[in-house]
Amino acid sequence: MTNLSSDITLWNEDKMPIIGLGTWNNVSEEGVHAAVDAALKVGYRHIDTAYTYGNEAAIGRALKKWFDQGDVKREDLFIATKLPLQGMQPERVDKYLGRSLAALQLSYVDLYLVQFPCGCPEKGSDLLLPLDESGALIADPTTDHVAVWKAMERQVLAGRARSVGLSHFNARQLLRVAQAAQLRPACLQLELHAYCQQRELAAFCKGLELPVVACAPLSSPEFLQLADDPDSEMTCLPKISPLLDPVVAEIAHKHKKTPAQILLRHSVQRGIAVIPKSVNPARIKENFQIFDFELDEDDVWELDSIDRWNRGRVFDKKFFRGMESHPEFPFNDPY
């Protein structure tokens, strides 16, 4: 079996575990504790969160319990969080990272990501994501990536983030930041799974020596379910999930693994980090057990061939409604 590394070395020499726990849509105190406990018990050392997920404080309390009991040390964990869309002005970066650090009860994060290439105005004293009466995001078209990146770099220099990175940026936007950067981006986080394999963008990142992290590595099936709800604003999402694909099922049967394990292994075997989210301890364990088998050339060929390119995207124009006319909306470019 090919030796598969369990982590990716970033340009600053930090090791980012190739599997992390996703935490979006997990906001209850009990849900967060159960997920963090289950993940740390089976060996996860990478946790992905964001200001916009509204769960940083619960994650901070769950981590504190582990630190206080001496069961894990801060330096053994890789914690990533994100600058929200309403923080996309250089003078706001310090404030939003400060809020995240206070909520997480940490003095630094391992990775601070720009969550999305478009900015929004701030809303109210709670600094929430601003929505109009129809529920669409309100755009601030003055987003300046280079200015925001300079403010991100200052967080590294101040010791509040070990590294900084980008999320959902397209190739053109990545290149612009990379060319202007004093501190290179540590990675790109983007939607990536068997139905949206992002081959061109992943190859572009390889050229920039930029590791890739797959968010929604199982294609975010919760959101696909919303597509079946006639009252949902998400009815335009594609009603498909690679978890239910017959090709994936057949390969899972062959290896005596689950479809989720096949999907995660497919990305990890490409050298891409994955951050599957679950609140279910059995699934959290299952998602971590992907190092004891290998997809062979035929499996890889078949999985590669179920790609639906941009048609397989879950987080598309409809998901970011209100942002599609922002001058930096990333999905108007082919990749």
Query: Which residues on neighbouring strands pair with residue 16, listed in sequence order?
Result: 8
- Among 34, 218, 268, 323, interactor with ligand NAP by CB under 6 A: 218
Answer yes or no: are the C-beta atoms of 186 and 211 closer than 8 Å.
Answer: yes
48 binds ligand NAP (CB under 6 A): yes
Which of 138, 226, 240, 279 is in the footprint of ligand NAP by CB under 6 A? 279
For CA atoms 141, 320, 100, 133, the dihedral sign is: positive
Cβ proximity to ligand NAP, 161 vs 215, nearer residue: 215
Three-state DSSP class for residue 150 = helix
Structure tokens at 71: 């069961």
Q: Is 85 helix (H, G, I), strand (E, B) or coil?
A: helix
Which listed residue (110, 122, 245, 286) binds ligand NAP by CB under 6 A? 286
Beta bridge partners of 165: 113
Structure tokens at 2: 């090919």
Binding mask 52-91 for ligand NAP (x = CB under 6 A): ----------------------------------------
x/- binding map, residues 164-203, to ligand NAP, per CB under 6 A? ---xx--------------------x--------------
Amino acid occupying residue 239: K
Question: Closer to ligand NAP at the Cβ: 89 or 258?
Answer: 258
For residue 199, what are its two tokens? 């081959």
Query: Alpha-carbon distance 11 to 187, whole Å?
Result: 9
Spatial CA neighbour of 74 closest among 40, 97, 103, 23 = 40
Binding of residue 22 to ligand NAP (CB under 6 A): yes
Q: How far apart are CB 187 and ligand NAP at their closest, in Å?
A: 11
Query: In which residue are the tokens 């060929």 written?
Result: 301
Residue 23 found at the interface with ligand NAP (CB under 6 A):
yes
Task: Kindly tell me which of 298 and 332 has the beta carbon lying closer to ligand NAP.
Answer: 332
Question: Using an 8 Å Cβ cutoff, are 83 and 111 in contact?
Answer: no
Please name the helix (run of DSSP H) or strand (run of DSSP E) that holds residue 112, with its range, or none: strand 111-114
| Residue closest to ligand NAP when measured from CB atoms | 22
267: nearest Cα among 192, 166, 203, 326: 192
Among 154, 176, 283, 308, binds ligand NAP (CB under 6 A): 283
Residues 6+ apart with CB under 8 A from 93: 83, 87, 148, 151, 152, 154, 155
Q: Is 195 a catalytic residue?
A: no
Q: Which of 155, 173, 219, 267 binds ligand NAP (CB under 6 A)?
A: 219
What character string, x for contact with ligand NAP (CB under 6 A) and - otherwise, covers 109-148? ------x---------------------------------
Instruction: Single out the residue of 220, 242, 248, 257 in contact with ligand NAP (rule: CB under 6 A).
Output: 220
With contact defined as beta carbons under 8 Å apart, do 41 and 192 qualify? no
Residue 159, amino acid: G
Binding-site member from 162, 265, 277, 326 for ligand NAP (CB under 6 A): 277
Residues carrying an active site annotation: 53
Which residues are at the interface with ligand NAP (CB under 6 A)? 22-25, 48, 115, 167-168, 189, 215-222, 243, 258, 260, 275-280, 283, 286-287, 315
